Amino acid sequence: MNDTVFWSWQNDLPPKTNRSFLREAIAIAVDRVSAELDVEDVERVELDHDTKASPGMADISQTILNKIAKAAVMIADVTPIGRTAAGKAIPNPNVMVELGYALHALGFERIIAILNTAGGHSVEALPFDIRHRRILTYELSDAATKDQFKAVRENLVKQLTFAIQLNIKDVRDTRSAATPIMGVKSDSKSAGLWNADWPATHSDGFGEVARVRPHELSRAWLRIIPDNYPNGRPAITQLDQLSDSARLWAPYGAGNGGNFGSCAFGYVTYWVAGKDEDGTCKARNLAAFLEETGEVWMSDGVALTEHQNRTQVSYAHLLSSWARGMDQGMACLDALGASKRRRVVMGIEGIADAVWHIQSGYPLARSRKPDMVIDETDREWPPERRLRFLRNGWNKLRDAFSMEPMSDEDFARYHEVRRRS
């Protein structure tokens, strides 16, 4: 989806210092914003104006209004073109009509006004409705030297780049929040497991046919669901060709040997924790690439343990599992060509009356909730965003046990320890 920056220009003043100058500065700024934000071809920032790219004998006024209504950002040249008999500054009337429509369609927040002060007009001289708003200004007269032109242009480009980028990010964040990413249904018996016809039959790494089914127990899980695959959904064979750093791994800590392979729902990997009489493998910890949505799902069946008739949270193991799962899952989706916009769901079930050992000599913390789930969608997931998500989920879990939240600094240190363990 392209996001347009609509430019409302006027031709009453010398083009060298206004129309042509602004067109070049805005185009450079748009290119810089696009290079910074548009890491995927599915989204681009483009400059638009008047009836550009409109076919045939377009209705000029209606075409312009339609473009403004669809724009992510509007830029208006409000430099006055004259004065009234009383000395009041008069901007170009066409620009003011378009600006007025943009105020209705977009709001002040998505409008950038520009003023050339070389003609002696200050921001205070502009009409009342806009002079109290932030106006980008530059000073450039016909007498300016080549070096002065260059310096003024670069300064304006920097201002425009910052303002446009801020607006585009806000528009995209709003759009992202309003467009849900759907994942596959969870298992009827466990929210921590995807719905499938168990046992699943797959071809393993040795060319043999294997069967696997999950143990029926309470689970912790992490799901990463991409918005789409810009170049198309990957072939299932790509899962076997990934590097170790991007390979899909089941959470550690359950079983002595592992297996993996393609199956009816996509691709599965797991640790073997027992077998049925017919040879079907049983697994506590599994992970899958689910072909229906292109998501990865990691399911951990050993986050809770039983000790002296009490259910306990293996919190050190749990955070390690979530932290590694986040890094590995994101790397896997990156390698498969998934979009950067992703939904992440993390949770744990079966914690009603479970206990959390704080340290020796302290009373046990007991859960007041049956489960914990955190569900967030974002356009990008750099390391600091992943850390914030994990911290939000971890503190939500601690709150379920009536424990104080961890500070940003304390969690960052603890996360690093658990991630490396």
Mean pLDDT of the 188-197 span: 97
CB 350 within 8 A of CB 305: no
| pTM score | 0.72
Q: What's the pLDDT at 41?
A: 46
**Cα distances (Å, whole numbers) of residue 278 to 208, 210, 282:** 15, 11, 11
Q: Which amino acid is at 128?
A: F
State yes or no: pLDDT of 399 exceeds 50.
yes
Higher pLDDT, 140 or 125: 140
Percent of the chain with pLDDT over 90: 74
Confidence band, pLDDT 50/70/90 cuts, at residue 38: low
Q: What's the pLDDT at 137?
A: 93
State yes or no: pLDDT of 132 exceeds 80.
no
Q: What's the pLDDT at 57?
A: 44
- Peptide bond preceding 180 in cis form (omega within 30 of 0): no
The rounded mean pLDDT for the chain is 91
Confidence band, pLDDT 50/70/90 cuts, at residue 48: confident
CB 292 within 8 A of CB 265: yes
Find tokens 């198309």 and name the residue. Answer: 232
3-state helix, strand, coil in the chain (%, to 5): 35, 25, 40
- Close Cβ partners of 194 (under 8 Å, ≥ 6 residues apart): 184, 185, 186, 187, 265, 288, 290, 297, 299
Mean pLDDT of the 355-361 span: 77
- Close Cβ partners of 140 (under 8 Å, ≥ 6 residues apart): 17, 21, 116, 118, 148, 149, 152
pLDDT by residue (tens digit) across 286-332?
999 999 999 999 999 999 998 888 999 999 999 999 999 999 999 99
Instruction: Give the 3-state secondary structure of residue 143.
Output: coil
Q: What's the pLDDT at 58?
A: 56
CA–CA gap between residue 36 and residue 39 (Å, rounded): 7
CB 402 within 8 A of CB 351: no
Superfamily (CATH H level) for 2-178: Toll/interleukin-1 receptor homology (TIR) domain (3.40.50.10140)
Least confident of 54-58, 131-135, 299-303, 395-399: 54-58
State yes or no: pLDDT of 52 exceeds 70.
no
State yes or no: pLDDT of 181 exceeds 50.
yes
Mean pLDDT of the 108-136 span: 84
Q: What's the pLDDT at 206?
A: 75
State yes or no: pLDDT of 42 exceeds 60.
no
CA–CA gap between residue 140 and residue 153 (Å, rounded): 9
Confidence band, pLDDT 50/70/90 cuts, at residue 361: low
With vertex at residue 322, the alpha carbon angle to CA 317 and CA 326, rounded to the nearest 5 degrees, is 150
CA dihedral 321, 413, 346, 192 (to 10 degrees): 30
**Residue 220 main-chain phi, psi, to 5 deg:** -105, 155
pLDDT by residue (tens digit) across 220-268?
999 999 999 988 999 999 999 999 999 999 998 766 789 999 999 999 9
Q: What's the pLDDT at 254?
A: 67
CB 138 within 8 A of CB 123: no
CA–CA gap between residue 284 and residue 287 (Å, rounded): 10
CB 402 within 8 A of CB 368: yes
- Domain ranges in the chain? 2-178, 200-420
pLDDT by residue (tens digit) across 66-120?
999 999 999 999 999 988 887 788 899 999 999 999 999 999 889 999 999 998 8
Confidence band, pLDDT 50/70/90 cuts, at residue 163: very high
